Amino acid sequence: MAQARNIGDVILKIDSISLAFGGVKALSEVSFDVREHEIRAIIGPNGAGKSSMLNVINGVYHPQQGSVTFRGVEHKQMRPHEAAKQGIARTFQNIALFKGMTVLDNIMTGRNLKMRAGVLAQAVWYGPALREEIEHRKAVERIIDFLEIQAYRKTPVGRLPYGLQKRVDLGRALAIEPCVLLLDEPMAGMNVEEKQDMCRFILDVNDHFGTTIVLIEHDMGVVMDISDRVVVLDYGRKIGDATPDQVRGNQAVIDAYLGVSH
Amino acid sequence: MPENQAQPDTFPRLLLANAERLRERPAVREKDLGIWQTWSWGEVAMEVRTLACGLAALGFRRGDTLAIIGDNRPRLYWAMAAAQALGGVPVPLYQDAVANEMVYVFDDAEAQFAIVEDQEQVDKLIEILPRCPRLKHIVYDDPRGMRHYQQSQLLGYESLAERGRAFDAAHPDFYAGEVAKGKASDIGIMLYTSGTTGKPKGVCQTHRAFISSAQGGSRFDQLGPADSMLSYLPMAWVGDHLFSYAQWLVAGFTISCPESGDTVMTDMREIGPTYFFAPPRIFENLLTTVMIRMEDASAIKRALFRFFTDVARRCGAEILGRKPVAFADRLLYALGNVLIYGPLRNVLGMSRIRVAYTAGAAIGPDLFRFYRSIGVNLKQLYGSTETCAYVCLQPDGAVSFDSVGAPAPGVEVRIADNGEVLVRGPMLLKEYYRRPDATAESIDADGYFRTGDAGFFDANRQLKIIDRAKDVGKLATGAMYAPNYIENKLKFFPHIKEAVVFGNGRDRVCAFINIDVGSVGNWAERRAIPYAGYTDLAGKPEVYELIRECVEKVNAELAREDTLAGSQVHRFLILHKELDPDDDELTRTRKVRRGFVAEKYAALVDALYSDRAECHVETQIKFEDGRTGTVRADVRIREARILSRAQVKQAG
């Protein structure tokens, strides 16, 4: 994608991360960096450690070795809520929304960290709490408009088709107004049209809000189309890190995907 | 307005008069970010003035055309008025047309200016720019995603308004001067025909034509500033132009633009329009949604609903038509009104409706009666792009499903010897743009316009339309054959979405059927029949059985009418794909292009007229983004029972 975005300095640096669950090595000394405003894809075959990598970045897993440097501050162990507070938002491979709540309320939960009024004031819904809610509602409405889900504003999420639930999931992540957005297979299980819509939204988020995006995706067409740089993992190791075109020609990557005889 | 005071005779002058007369009253509403925004008549007049000055600053001159593409957005309606104020001609295009289809209209209308809704439309125009060298300026309303576009032709709406204000400040008398130059006989709008036959033609309508049509209609139904209307139909359609633009300015009511195409139903409930216009398809979809939801309701609710819809079917339409009804039924209806009809109208957003119209296609008798029976004053009208959608209207108290009403005030209707409906009046088109041959062909020496429809006046002097005049043909046996009539009868079943029948010059009638995925899908789910999309569902033997029953009911109805008994459907098949305007099988207004379909699926037609029970087909389809794919299927063919007149009588 030839776009006039200004890709800035390194905002997120992953430094020789190793993660093991008992004897299973999920990640072995993986290092890469993410620059501001770029779209960075992580690809690899099943079980390569892609989702583990995202979980390390936003502090769900704590690696045995290595560190994550976010905006110049080095973290040995990041907690998920700290990550969220610092502006790292994510969506999940298996949608993790509140199925019984409406689209509007689900996205509103993404504003939780930004709410200042106390529990009591919110319960009474008066004065500052009311004003605050109106502000948050405005932000949520802007996201609803952005993602073109006006028709489902008041629909419980559980009743929506899968593709739309994915969109709501993205909406909730956007509600934090993140500077880094981690997307775990945003297009899994979608049909061609839904994938196109989602691509458009990801590019628009990146362009409109300047959000840095780290995404895991299996659809090579999508990855090659929208990402600026690609990291390739296989069996927990980094086997490639380059622009989409270079990755496409990388023998190690081709072998990892097609398999080689040993 | 007192009688002696002359009504303004152009749309820009009407707008100024409304701004004076209705200053603070709401003119336009639009839902944005979840909240309804309102513009008063005074504000609209100001916006239009700014926009007109902006266009003038860009070089828009008298006689120029302005293409308008997008969903119903207030700014696009204002652009219409702005272009008219400068003596230009707005040309609205269907917003879902693909880029290639737009080339023809841009070329034909010689448009140098375009105002479009958003990035999607801008992308289409940029694609066709090399083929439309005349197009110099593209103004877009929604700036989202437009930051990196470098094309010199592009300009945001805000920047245009900025230029307009500067221009207005520098030339304060300019706008009033331009409006004053306008004449009632100027071309006010150019609407392209849907192109059911051949290339679309640009229909030039004068200010006078649309204003007199709107005045006639407004007086007929006593429309005024207190009324409210939802504007959601394509702006390029004559119906929307008459109802949401011409009548809006003439009657001074409020139009409301929905938030998006998907939210129309919710928005309609919130606005509660008093005046409503929709093609039969929309009324049908609404009813289907209600019926599907009712089937999932609890047993008590279902029983109540069934009981009271039966009551309504028996007497509702008569009560609305102020005809005598038994006292007991009246009481039951009043109870039903509290328990069922009122809440149902509310769910449909029709609580406040005074007048609702439908047009554009034949409406099913059950469907029509249903709405009238629950107290919605649904009526029919008849008209076309060439007649400002204003020829016949059904007056309150004389409404029937199979006629289109009496000639509207100021309109003369005559039936030609071959059954074709001819009309004359102030609403007639001035000409087809750059097509003097077509203009001469369509208007006869006495000034009557050939509608191309075949029809007759019934005993109550109400016009009945049976078919397109050129479609009415003969079977090989010599019996009359009216394809639309049969297709409409088939389409009245909720399970059948489209039907295409063949038979002209042949010995018997056969049909293609498109099932309605929503309705048949729900039917299949309740019977635990698994399916994976349209093609799979269409091939199920159970579905064939279901459709066969519908076809045989139509055959039974046809058998009752002497002239049409020979047109019963002998064999039918369910098409493996839905007919789609993107594949040129339907027009943008969703009318079937029968000839094209017959040609494209010639193999299937041949199979219908052979003894074969199955036929293999491969069809190219076009996706919304313009790419193509292929559908393959083995299409089954079934026979339907043919009834003789004696059998019908026996069945009662």
pLDDT, tens digit (0-9, with 9 covering 90-100), for B348-391: 999 999 999 998 777 878 889 899 999 999 999 999 999 999 99
CA B283 to chain centre: 11
Q: Residue B452 belongs to a domain with what CATH number? A: 3.40.50.12780
Query: Mapping DSSP to helix (H, G, I), strand (E, B) and coil, where does residue B220 land?
Result: helix
Q: Write down the pLDDT at residue B632.
A: 82
Check whether residue B30 and residue B16 sit in a common domain. yes
Answer whether B145 sits within 8 Å of A4, measured CB to CB: no
Torsion of CA B419, B198, B432, B215, to 10 degrees: 60
Contact B290, B350 (CB under 8 A): no
Check whether residue B637 and residue B489 sit in a common domain. yes
- Per the domain annotation, does B221 fall within a domain? no
Size of interface A-B (CB pairs under 8 A): 38
Query: Mapping DSSP to helix (H, G, I), strand (E, B) and coil, where does residue B632 land?
Result: strand
Check whether residue B423 and residue B481 sit in a common domain. no
Q: Kindly tell me if the per-residue pLDDT of B398 is higher than 90.
A: no
Answer whether B144 sits within 8 Å of A193, measured CB to CB: no
Answer whether B33 sits within 8 Å of A4, measured CB to CB: no
Q: What share of chain B in percent tops pLDDT 70?
A: 97
* Optimal mutation site among A146, A150, A206, interface B, most CBs of chain B within 10 A: A150
* Optimal mutation site among B31, B73, B117, B262, interface A, most CBs of chain A within 10 A: B262
- Which residues from chain B sit within 8 angstroms of residue A193, using beta carbons? 623-624
Distance CA A57, CA A73 (A): 13
Strand order, beta sheet including B154-156: B89-93, B65-69, B113-116, B137-140, B154-156
Check whether residue B553 and residue B592 sit in a common domain. yes
- Which residues from chain A sit within 8 angstroms of residue B145, using beta carbons? 204, 207-208
A157 vs chain B: nearest CA distance in angstroms?
17
Q: Kindly tell me if the per-residue pLDDT of B197 is higher than 70.
A: no
Q: Kindly tell me if the per-residue pLDDT of B4 is higher than 50.
A: no
The ipTM assigned to this model is 0.80
Check whether residue B611 and residue B494 sit in a common domain. yes
Distance CA A190, CA A164 (A): 10
The average confidence (pLDDT) of chain B is 90
Enclosing domain of residue B442: 280-467
Distance CA B84, CA B182 (A): 8
Among B206, B233, B254, the domain-final residue is B206
Check whether residue B508 and residue B631 sit in a common domain. yes
Contact B194, B201 (CB under 8 A): no
Among B467, B492, B510, the domain-final residue is B467
Q: What is the CB neighbour count within 10 angstroms for residue B321?
A: 15
Sign of CA dihedral B415, B416, B420, B422: negative
Check whether residue B480 and residue B445 sit in a common domain. no
Answer whether B624 sits within 8 Å of A148, measured CB to CB: no
Q: Residue B482 belongs to a domain with what CATH number? A: 3.30.300.30
Among B151, B179, B206, the domain-final residue is B206
Q: Write down the pLDDT at residue B399.
A: 86
Kindly state which CATH superfamily the domain A1-87+178-262 is placed in: P-loop containing nucleotide triphosphate hydrolases (3.40.50.300)
Answer whether B34 sits within 8 Å of A148, measured CB to CB: no
Taking the Cβ of residue A3 and every Cβ of chain B, the question of whether any pair is shorter than 8 Å is answered with yes
Contact A30, A63 (CB under 8 A): no
Please state the length of chain A: 262
Beta strands in B531-600 (DSSP E): 569-574
Distance CA B434, CA A96 (A): 60
- Which residues from chain B sit within 8 angstroms of residue A204, using beta carbons? 144-145
A43 phi/psi in degrees, rounded to 5: -125, 170
- Per the domain annotation, does B145 fall within a domain? yes
Q: How many domains does chain B divide into?
A: 3
Answer whether B263 sits within 8 Å of A142, measured CB to CB: no
- Per the domain annotation, does B246 fall within a domain? no
Answer whether A4 sits within 8 Å of B148, measured CB to CB: yes
Taking the Cβ of residue A191 and every Cβ of chain B, the question of whether any pair is shorter than 8 Å is answered with no
- Which residues from chain A sit within 8 angstroms of residue B71, using beta carbons? none
Torsion of CA A246, A249, A253, A259, to 10 degrees: 170
Q: Write down the pLDDT at residue B304.
A: 94
A69-104 tens-digit pLDDT = 998 888 877 788 888 888 999 998 888 899 999 999
| Mean pLDDT calculated for residue range B467-486 | 82
Q: Write down the pLDDT at residue A155.
A: 93
Amino acid at B517: V
- Per the domain annotation, does B38 fall within a domain? yes
What contacts A194, CB < 8 A, 6 or more positions away? Answer: A163, A166, A187
B604 vs chain A: nearest CA distance in angstroms?
29
B246 vs chain A: nearest CA distance in angstroms?
29
Q: Single out the residue of B176, B170, B128, B173 nearest to residue B153, CA to CA.
A: B128
Contact A7, A35 (CB under 8 A): yes
- Per the domain annotation, does B269 fall within a domain? no
Q: Kindly tell me if the per-residue pLDDT of B393 is higher than 80.
A: yes
Query: What is the pLDDT confidence band of residue B501, given thresholds at 50, 70 and 90?
Result: very high
Answer whether B147 sits within 8 Å of A207, measured CB to CB: yes
- Per the domain annotation, does B231 fall within a domain? no
B450 phi/psi in degrees, rounded to 5: -80, 115
Check whether residue B527 and residue B405 sit in a common domain. no
B→A interface, C-beta within 8 Å: 32-35, 144-145, 147-148, 259-260, 262-263, 266, 623-625
Residue B625 is nearest to which of A3, A196, A208, comparing CB atoms?
Answer: A196
Query: What is the pLDDT confidence band of residue B195, given thresholds at 50, 70 and 90?
Result: low
For residue B8, the 8-state DSSP code is P
- Per the domain annotation, does B220 fall within a domain? no
A-chain residue closest to B145, CA distance: A204
Answer whether B144 sits within 8 Å of A208, measured CB to CB: yes
A-chain residue closest to B265, CA distance: A151
Check whether residue B406 and residue B332 sit in a common domain. yes
A-chain residue closest to B626, CA distance: A193
- Which residues from chain A sit within 8 angstroms of residue B148, using beta carbons? 3-4, 207
Domain assignments of chain A as residue spans, ordered by start: 1-87+178-262, 97-177
Check whether residue B453 and residue B499 sit in a common domain. no
Q: Which residue has the tokens 């199920």?
A: B540
B-chain residue closest to A148, CA distance: B260
Check whether residue B99 and residue B167 sit in a common domain. yes
SS3 content of chain B, % helix, strand, coil (to 5): 45, 20, 35
Contact B228, B256 (CB under 8 A): yes
B-chain residue closest to A2, CA distance: B148
Q: Write down the pLDDT at residue A5.
A: 63
Q: Considering only A195-209, B91-105, B620-634, which range has the smallest mean pLDDT?
A: B620-634
B386 vs chain A: nearest CA distance in angstroms?
35
Residue B260 is nearest to which of A142, A151, A193, comparing CB atoms?
Answer: A151
| Mean pLDDT calculated for residue range B99-103 | 88
Q: Kindly tell me if the per-residue pLDDT of A255 is higher than 80.
A: yes
Q: Write down the pLDDT at residue B196.
A: 59
Check whether residue B456 and residue B494 sit in a common domain. no
Most confident of A125-134, B271-280, B449-458: B271-280
B-chain residue closest to A153, CA distance: B34
Residue B262 is nearest to which of A138, A150, A192, comparing CB atoms?
Answer: A150
Q: Write down the pLDDT at residue B585.
A: 87
Distance CA B330, CA A32 (A): 79
Q: Single out the residue of B80, B104, B277 nearest to residue B190, CA to CA.
A: B80
Contact B601, B573 (CB under 8 A): no
- Per the domain annotation, does B429 fall within a domain? yes
What contacts A95, CB < 8 A, 6 or more positions away? Answer: A162, A165, A166, A169
